[in-house]
């Protein structure tokens, strides 16, 4: 198998999606833009996985509840006082629609898969912790203020 075939195999695997999910969860602590990009990439790759593997949709009522909540938010547009702000809010809350749909397209996540996600989350948060502490230490050395650690 050539290198391109190996890359396609990795991109089409569930393990790759689990790594993306773990990275997405870790980036929630960093900020809005990186976590949005990671979640968008996770959704796109999940849809790709669904199409490539020709999976069947697995309906789960618990995943349908956030979709119902988003539909209620969308309906509130019609009785909203400020419809422009409501549209902005709907754009920010679209994740309530995308994530449940994404998880209905994926196979059921096993305990082994959960452990992999938690391992990725823990490892990346440890790296982020070291980065934030070293950044605070650098700022403390430059400013002498202890408040950079909070």
Per-residue pLDDT tens, the chain, 150 aa: give them: 688 878 878 877 888 888 888 988 888 888 888 888 888 899 998 898 888 888 888 788 888 899 999 999 999 989 888 888 888 888 888 888 888 988 888 888 889 999 999 999 999 999 989 999 999 999 999 988 888 887
**pLDDT of res. 1:** 65
- Alpha carbons 66 and 43: distance in angstroms, whole number: 16
Angle at 61 between CA 69 and CA 86, to 5 degrees: 10
Check if the beta carbon of residue 38 is closer than 8 Å to that of residue 20: yes
Check if the beta carbon of residue 45 is closer than 8 Å to that of residue 13: no
Q: What's this model's pTM, rounded to 2 decimal places?
A: 0.78
């Amino acid at each position: 198998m050539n290198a391109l075939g190996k890359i396609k195999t990795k991109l089409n695997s569930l393990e790759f999606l689990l790594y993306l999910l773990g990275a997405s969860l870790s980036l929630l602590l960093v900020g809005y833009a990186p976590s949005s990009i990671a979640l968008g990439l996770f959704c796109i790759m999940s849809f790709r996985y669904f199409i490539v593997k020709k999976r069947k949709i697995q309906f789960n009522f618990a995943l349908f509840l956030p979709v119902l909540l988003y539909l209620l938010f969308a309906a509130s547009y019609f009785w909203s006082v400020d419809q422009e702000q409501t549209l902005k809010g709907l754009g920010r809350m679209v994740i309530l629609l995308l994530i449940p749909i994404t998880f209905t397209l994926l196979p059921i996540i096993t305990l082994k898969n959960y452990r992999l996600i938690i391992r990725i989350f823990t490892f990346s948060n440890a790296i982020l912790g070291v980065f934030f502490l070293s950044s605070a230490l650098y700022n403390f050395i430059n400013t002498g203020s202890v408040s950079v650690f909070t």
